[in-house]
Structure 1
Amino acid sequence: MLLRLPTSVSEAQECMTEGAVPIGGATLVWAAWQRDGFPDHAMSLRDLPEANTIGRETLGAAVVLNRIDDRVPEVMRRAAATVGTGAVRRTATVGGNIVGSTLRCLLPPALALDARAVILEPEGVNETDLAEVLAKRHLLLSLRWREPISSSYHKAAGEAGGPPPLVIAAAVHSADDGQRLLRVAVREDEEVFSDSTVCHTDAEQDLRALRDGSFGRLPAATWDAVRRHVTDLLARSADR
C-alpha cells in the first residue's frame, strides 16, 4: 500500500483523482484491511495545514482527539476526552470519528455548535452541512462554527460490549437579532436527535419547545436526563 501525505490542497485533490483512500487515524479501517486486503493507494491529511486547525471556531479533520484542548468550546473538548481509551485518542482523528465511525461521538457536539463542514472535492474546497457529509461520506477538511456563549456535555456510563451510552450536547448561542438560541443534540443508542429553540426567561418554556419537536420521540428516562442537563446549562448561561 502506498500512503500519500499531501501538504497542500491541490496535492490532496490530485491524490483523490488518483483514487487514494482517506484513512484518518486508521483506527477503524486497519482490522478490515487486514481481513479483506489493503488498498493500492491511501491518503492521510495529517500534514495538510487546512486539516490541522484548532481554535474557538474551527477544528481540523486530521486533528487527533488527544490534541483537542481548551482552545475549542467545552462541549467539543469534553466529548473528545471521553472517546475510547488513551491509546485510541492518540491516533483517532476528528474526521474519522464523524465520517468513518458508526458511533460518531463528536457528532452531537458538532450539531450543538451548529457546525458547518468544510469538505474537499476533486473540483475544490466547499462548505456544506453535516447531514450531507454523513450521507455522501465527503472528505472532511474541517469544522467551523460561531463561538457559543456557553456549552456543556454529558455522557452516561456505559458497559463494555453494551449499547452506546447516552450522550447529551448543548450550547447557547447569540442570534443575529440579539436573542439567544439553545441548540441540543442527543445520541440515544445509535440514533442522533437534534433541535433548537429561542431562549426565554423561563427555562420550562424552552424545554416545552424542545419536547414538542424531535425530542418528543425520546424515552421518558432520556428526556429527564436532557431536562436536567439543559436546565443546568441555562442557569449557568443566564449571567453571561
Structure 2
Amino acid sequence: MLLRLPTSLPEAQECLAEGAIPVGGATLVWAAWQRDGFPEQSVSLREVPEANVLDAGAVGAAVLLHRIDERVPEVLRRAASGIGTGAVRRTATVGGNIVGSTLRCLLPAALVLDARARVLAAEGPFETDLAELLAKKPLLLSLHWDEPLVSGYHKGAEAPGGPPPLVVATAVDAGARPLLRIAVRDGYDFLDESVPCEPDARSVLDALSGTAIGALPAGAREAVREQVTSVLERAAER
C-alpha cells in the first residue's frame, strides 16, 4: 500500500481524485485492512496545515486526540481526554473518531457546539453541516464553532463487553437569546436538541421532556437532569 502525505489542499485533492483512501490515525481501519485487504493507496492529512489547526474556534481533522487542550471548550476537551488509553489518544485523530468510528465519542461535543465541517472533495473544499458529513462522509479537514458561554460533559461507567457508555454533552451559547444545546449518546444512538434558556432549570427540563430526550431510560434522564442543572448554574454566574 502506498501512503501519500500531501502538504497542501491541492495535493490532497489530487490524491482523492486518484482514488486514495483516507487513513486518519489508522487506529480503526488497520485491523479491517488486515482482514479484508489493503487498498492500493491511502492518504493522510497529517502534513496539511488546514487539517492541523487547533485554537479556540477550530480543530483540524488530523489533530491527535492527546493534543486537544484548554484552547477548545470544556465539552470537547473532556470528550477527547476520555477516549481509549493514552496510547490510543497519541495515535487517533479527530477526523477518524467522528467520521470513521461507530462510537463517535467526539460527536456529542461537536453537536452541542453547533459545529460546522470544512471538508474536501475531488472538486475542492467546501463547508457543510454535521448531518451531511456523517451521511456522505467526505474527507473532513476541520471543525469550526462559535465559543459557547459554558459547556459540560458527562460519560458514564463503561461495562466490559457491553454497549458504549452513556454520554451527555451540554453547552449554552453566547447569543443575545441563548439556547441550551444537549446531545446524548445512548448505546449507538445519538440524540440532540436545543431549547431556550430560562432562569429556572425546571422550565428547561420541562421543555426537554417533550422531545426525544424525554423518552430516554430513567438513568439517562437523571444524568441529563444533573448536567442541565449544572451547566445552567454556571451560565448564570457569567
TM-score band (shorter)?
over 0.9
Residue 160 of structure 2 corresponds to which residue in structure 1? 160
Shift of 1:170: 0.4
CA distance in 1, matches of 2:145, 2:114: 6
CA distance in 1, matches of 2:3, 2:160: 33
RMSD of aligned Cα (Å): 0.8
1:210-237 alpha-carbon deviations (Å, 9 max, x no partner) = 1111212211221111001110111111
Residue 17 of structure 2 corresponds to which residue in structure 1? 17
- TM-score by length of structure 2 reads 0.98
CA distance in 1, matches of 2:107, 2:85: 18
Q: Secondary structure at the match of 1:102?
A: coil
Structure 1 segment 63-74 matched on structure 2, within 5 A: 63-74=63-74
Residue 190 of structure 1 corresponds to which residue in structure 2? 188
Amino acid in structure 2 at the alignment position of 1:219: P
CA distance in 2, matches of 1:39, 1:148: 41
Shift of 1:112: 0.7
Residue 215 of structure 2 corresponds to which residue in structure 1? 217
- 226, 233, 236: which one aligns with 2:234: 236
Structure 1 segment 166-205 matched on structure 2, within 5 A: 166-175=166-175, 178-205=176-203
1:114 aligns with 2:114: yes
Shift of 1:160: 2.0
Q: Secondary structure at the match of 1:174?
A: coil
Structure 1 segment 78-157 matched on structure 2, within 5 A: 78-157=78-157
Q: Secondary structure at the match of 1:142?
A: strand
Q: Secondary structure at the match of 2:194?
A: strand
1:50-75 alpha-carbon deviations (Å, 9 max, x no partner) = 00011111010000100000000000
Amino acid in structure 1 at the alignment position of 2:194: S
Uncovered stretches (5+) of structure 1, i.e. residues with no partner: none
- TM-score by length of structure 1 reads 0.98
CA distance in 1, matches of 2:128, 2:18: 24
